[in-house]
Amino acid sequence: MGTTQLDTVPEPKYWHLKTVLTDALDSEFAVGEILPNERELAARFGVARATLRQALEQLELEGRLQRRRGVGTTVAPPRMGVAVGERAHSWEDADDAAWQPVDSTETAPPAEIARLLEIQPGALVHTVRRSRVGHGQPIAAELLYVPPASVPGLSALDTPPGAARARAILRELRHVELGGREQSVELGSARADQAKALDRLPGAPVLVVTTRYTAAGHTIAVAVATYRADTCRLTFGDGAGVELLAG
């Protein structure tokens, strides 16, 4: 008696812990500040380290914390708004610094992509790798699949695979008149190569944006972009006043 007896439906410890930490982050910590290490936090709250970590994991998933091995846990800034539903997402703004071409190869795309491209499974396509940066941080890694038929002006032999070829392909694509675009967003986890590009550990949560570009009723390219889910909020605008949600 005398103890609070409200746990008729006992809340998991890590869940309660998360609430407490959220409040603390709102009131007592500034962005960028370093939290006490996990062992000390666990001791302070009287729980096992694994339990404390379960709470931290959720907070990182929600973009409130950033954890780096060997360094520590810091308070994350609010997520940045990233436009993905605009022409700006396309290759038409190759001049601005949002997307950085990395390299280009000729490969057979995954079966799922081949289906979207309406080509034979196993057929070769240009595969352009691009990376996107924001606030000095890597934001997204993209693979752009372009069937040779979509860039007839490109003479593959002119430029060797690599960044130069990537730029050439994007340049050619700018000559194609876009008909439409459809996109989808789903949750995924970063593969090893993506994780490295995004400066995260493998398995980190990512938002996978698949874009299908069409012209004259045909699919001319498919892009699969993986955005860091912890730091990004994807914005889709009508074109009028995107500032508010873009934060």
Q: Does 212 bind a copy of itself (CB under 8 A)?
A: yes
Distance in angstroms between the alpha carbons of the first and the last residue of the chain: 49
Which of 224, 170, 157, 222 is CA-nearest to residue 194? 224
Which of 204, 210, 60 is CA-nearest to residue 138? 204
Which of 142, 147, 105 is CA-nearest to residue 127? 105
Q: Which residues neighbour 8 within 8 Å (Cβ) at sequence distance 6 or greater?
A: none
CA dist 79 and 83 (Å) reads 13
Q: Which is nearer to DNA, 46 or 241 (CB)?
A: 46
Q: Does 215 bind a copy of itself (CB under 8 A)?
A: no
Q: Does 191 bind DNA (CB under 7 A)?
A: no
Burial 92-116 (b: 16+ CB within 10 A, else e): eeeeeebbebbebeeeebeeebbeb
CB of 183 to DNA, least distance (A): 30
x/- contact string, 97-126, with a copy of itself (CB under 8 A)?
Answer: -------------------x----------
Q: Which is nearer to a copy of itself, 149 or 246 (CB)?
A: 246
CA dist 212 and 144 (Å) reads 10
x/- contact string, 20-39, with DNA (CB under 7 A)?
Answer: ---------------x-xxx
CA dist 201 and 218 (Å) reads 37
Q: Does 69 bind DNA (CB under 7 A)?
A: yes
Task: Single out the residue of 13, 167, 191, 212 in contact with DNA (rule: CB under 7 A).
Answer: 13
Q: Does 58 bind DNA (CB under 7 A)?
A: no
Q: Does 196 bind DNA (CB under 7 A)?
A: no
Q: Which is nearer to DNA, 14 or 29 (CB)?
A: 14
Task: Single out the residue of 25, 59, 64, 73 in contact with DNA (rule: CB under 7 A).
Answer: 73
Tokens standing for 64?
């409130």
Which of 192, 168, 25 is CA-nearest to residue 104? 168
Task: Single out the residue of 45, 185, 196, 215 in contact with a copy of itself (rule: CB under 8 A).
Answer: 185
Q: Which residues bind a copy of itself (CB under 8 A)?
A: 15, 18, 58, 61-63, 79, 81, 85, 116, 179-189, 202-203, 205, 207, 210, 212, 214, 217, 219, 229-230, 232-242, 244-246
